[in-house]
Every structure is written in structure tokens, then in C-alpha cells.
Amino acid sequence: MDFLVAGLSNVFTFESLLAVLIGTLIGIIMGALPGVGPALAIALTLPFTFGMAPETSLILLGSIFSGSVYGGSISAILINTPGTPGNAATSFDGYPMTRKGEGGIALGISAMSSAIGGIISILVLSFFSPLLANIAVHFGAAEQCMLGLLGLSVVSLAADNDFLKGWISAGLGLMLSMVGFDLVTGEERFTFGWDYLYDGLQFIPLMVGLFAITQVLTLAQMKGTISGPGHVSGGFLKGALSALKYRITLIRSALIGVMFGTVPALGLDAAAFFAYITEKRSAKKEAKSFGKGLHRAVVAPEAANNAVVGGSLIPTLALGIPGSAATAVLLGGLIIVGITPGSKLFTEQAGMVGTFFVAMLFAQIAFLLMGLLFARPISKIVTLPNEILLSGILILATAGSFAIRNSLMDVIVCLTFGVIGYIFIKTNFNIVCFVLAFLLGPIIETGFQRALVVSGGSYSIFFTRPISLVLFVLVVLMILYGVIRSRKKDNNVDSSLNM
């Protein structure tokens, strides 16, 4: 742990603390913009760091990374438009809280949960990096496929209201995730000869459409403001303290985030959805109140998505394998300032690594303080008349979708999926299951095909490797549990109708 002590002395300077504050602020603003996200935020700041001292540059990049993941929750909570895909699950209960006039409280819960999730993940990163890096080494293609399937099997729990439609939604998400060039064989699938579809449907325009444009269509049918005739509470501090009541949720969700972060490609979104659904399962009596503005339902995804940050840095730093676009860009930045990933990192470059870790710890505290200062003015956004707000969301969603690849087609996809999302809601299909399957689809398929290549076409690879086998058994159990639960529920409904 000597590297943390060395890092502390580097961060405790005026210049470094200023870099933490500026980096966190940039991260929060960028994260709150739909479609921008951590990868773009880090990439845009990278050129500015070239003239800086290596330590300052590291501090700035680490703070931007943490701040941007938290920033996405602000727009998710206040206007039901997640800034990053990782904040989509936060909007399920965060936005209903805003509608009840508790936007400030939701922001407080989100900031505190994100901070604690982030702190736990960085502590895990600091203490268990070498061990977790060893586990990640054993994750081959078969395990990646099974882990993706395990994530997908969560649909059994997420499709609470209609099991069948939940799985249909997931199936549709999987089918659409296969559009474009097959990642392993290069075969062109479901493109209809249309160039735009060669790279597949892009996740961010699709996600912005499903959440933001659906929200625009809903707002179009409501007069007044999101927060209703009531007032917008401040309540940030109250919310922040309220999050502390859910200690088990915080720790469990943070560990889910670290676990998902450690496995390349699983990422923020999958971790947040998994934590949300796990929380719903463990809530028992309160499970029915999920989606109606429950505090613990905001705590879980926010603690998880910020914990992914630390988890994702484990393979990035220990093995040089970035698990996401954000860590890939960050890795580039780290190499520029002289950090070489690998097993010797924690001994030969201890000071630099320590500086980076401590800066990220400070960033968690910084966004908590910034939330306290700016929550009230920010939450005023929900008092805007719906007619103006929906026009603003429409423009923001359009700009965010366009900014990913500078493509007007991405905007059209975003608007189209907005309408599809609205039809989904009206016909009882499940958007969460659809999104979860869409993002896990490529992970499952790539893992599946690569495993078959490795085994020479034999399916036994999925059942002869211990970790893969354990994951497979968990998948089967999870689906069986969902089926039994759904049947029980149907029987209960039938018996209550016959009474």
C-alpha cells in the first residue's frame, strides 16, 4: 500500500486539488449531456493534458472519468434522459421521484451512492488488484459467453409483470444486436444492402431514443410541469444522508459494479441494470413499489455504475486490456504520461499509480460537494413548462445522437426507436429487457463463436471449463426460477379471479 501513501502526497497540492475540482466539473457536465459519456469526455480533454505535469494530467483524467459517470444521473433523474447508458436504470425510480417533487433528494441519493460505490471500487482496486487480475486472466471466450448469458437470464427477474413479453422483448433486443457484420466471420447480416447498417445499430442513439424520445412523447400529452403544481424540494443533503441508510444495498451494488467492471466489455449499463434487478429481487415487500420513486432503487444502480469505474481499471492497469471505450481512451492517456500497464506497475511505478487512485478517491468527494452546492439550481429545470422542456430534450437528444458519429441517420434511428419505445410501453413490452439483451447480444455471440473456434467446433468447451460450467448452471437455475415464479403468479391471479 506504499503507492497510496506516495499518491496522497502528490494530490495534496493546490494545483492537484484544483485539477480534481476542474476534472470533476468537466466530467459532470459532459456526463449529463446525452450521448457524450466518459469516453468522449476523456478523449476531448486528452489534448489539453499534453502540456501538464504527468501527475496533474493523471488527476484530471481520473476525475473526469468519475465525474462523467455520476453526471449522467442528473439528466436521468430530472428529465428521464440518461446522460450515459449506465444511468438508464437510475431513471426508473429517479424520475418518478422528480415527478413527486423530490428531484433534489434523488440527486442527493445519487451523489452519495455514486461516491460510496466509487470509493469501494477504488479500495478494491487498490487492495485486490493483483488477485482480481489473476481471475480475469481465466476468463476465456466460453466464460465471457456464459457471463453474458447470466446477465441475460436476469430478464427472468426483470420481466416481473409479464414473463412472456419480457422474454419476447429480450429476444427482439438480441435479434437487433445481430444486425451488421458478424464480428467473427465477417458475414453481413440483416443489412438489406444498406451501408448504415454494416456496423450494426448504434447503442447510444437507440438508448437515447428509447428513453429520451419516449419521454418527449409522454410529455407532449401532459400540461404543466414535470414536478406538477407542487414545489421542487432542495433536499440534496437529506437525500445524501438517506442513501447511507441502505448500507447493504450500497455494498452489494458496489461489488456487483466491481465484478462487472473487471470483465472486459460488460460495462456500466449491464452492472447498473443487474444491480437494480438484484435490488428489486431482494426487496420482497417493497418490490411492487419499484418504478414509483423508491430511494433504494436509485441507490443500487448508481452505486453499481460508479463502482464499474474502479473494476474496469483492474484489467486495464494490470493486464493492459481496456474493457470499454472509456478505459481504452484512458489507457492511451496513461501511456502518454508514462504509465505502462502490467504486473510490474504496482512496484516500478507505484507513485504514479497511487496518485491516480487517490485522485479518483478525491473526485468522489468532489462531486458530492459540488452536488451539494449546485443541486438546487440544477433541479429547477423540472419547473420548466412541459412544452418548452420537451423541445429542449428533443434538441439535446438529436445533438447527442448526432455527435457520436456525425451521422444524421443516427438521429433518425434515435427518433424511430423513441416511437418504438412508446409502442412498447403501450403494448406491455419491456424496454429494460430489450436494452439489456441488445447490449449483451454481441458479448454472448462473440464469446460463443470464439469458444467454438478454440474448441474446434465442440460445444463441450462450455461444460468442461469449471468457471464456464458454474456460470451455465447459474443461468439454468435463474431461468427455471423465473418460470416457476411466473407460473405461481399466474395461478394466484387465476385463483383470485375464481373467488
Which residues contact another protein by CB under 8 A? 29, 33, 36, 40, 44, 164-165, 167-168, 171-172, 174-175, 178, 182, 184-185, 187, 189-190, 213, 216-217, 220-222, 384-385, 387-388, 390-392, 394-396, 398-399, 402-403, 406, 408, 411-412, 415, 418-419, 423, 426-428, 444-445, 448-449, 452
In whole angstroms, how close is the CB of 228 to another protein at the nearest point? Answer: 17
Nearer to another protein, 49 or 349 (CB): 49
- Cβ closer to another protein: 346 or 448? 448
> Which CB sits closer to another protein, 128 or 402?
402
The closest alpha carbon to 385, from 248, 272, 222, belongs to: 222
Nearer to another protein, 80 or 126 (CB): 80
Beta carbon nearer to another protein, 123 or 178: 178
Q: Which is nearer to another protein, 293 or 418 (CB)?
A: 418
* Shortest Å distance, C-beta 388 to another protein: 5
**Spatial separation of the C-alpha atoms in residues 169 and 104, rounded to whole Å:** 33
Tell me how far CA of residue 222 lies from CA of 74, 215, 228, 389, 390, in angstroms: 22, 11, 10, 12, 10
* Grid cell locating 93: 425510480
Report in angstroms how near the CB of residue 175 gets to another protein at its nearest. Answer: 6
Q: Considering the complex, what minimum distance in angstroms separates the CB of residue 156 from another protein?
A: 13
Nearest distance in Å: CB 116, another protein: 29
CA nearest 136: which of 304, 325, 322? 322
Toward another protein, which CB reaches closer, 17 or 384?
384
CB-neighbour burial class of residue 186 (10 A; exposed 0-12, middle 13-18, buried 19+) = exposed
Instruction: Give the nearest distance from C-beta 216 to another protein in angstroms.
Output: 6
- Comparing CB distances to another protein, the nearer of 51 and 186 is 186
| Residue 289, number of CB atoms within 10 A of its CB | 15
> What is the nearest approach in angstroms of another protein to the Cβ of residue 50?
17
- Alpha-carbon distance of 413 to 35, in angstroms, equals 13
Rank residues 187 and 195 by Cβ distance to another protein and give the closer one: 187
Residue 205 C-beta: closest distance to another protein, Å: 13
Cβ–Cβ < 8 Å for 350, 2: yes
Could you tell me the smallest distance in angstroms from the CB atom of residue 191 to another protein?
10
**Residue in this structure with the C-alpha cell 426507436, named with its chain if needed:** 417
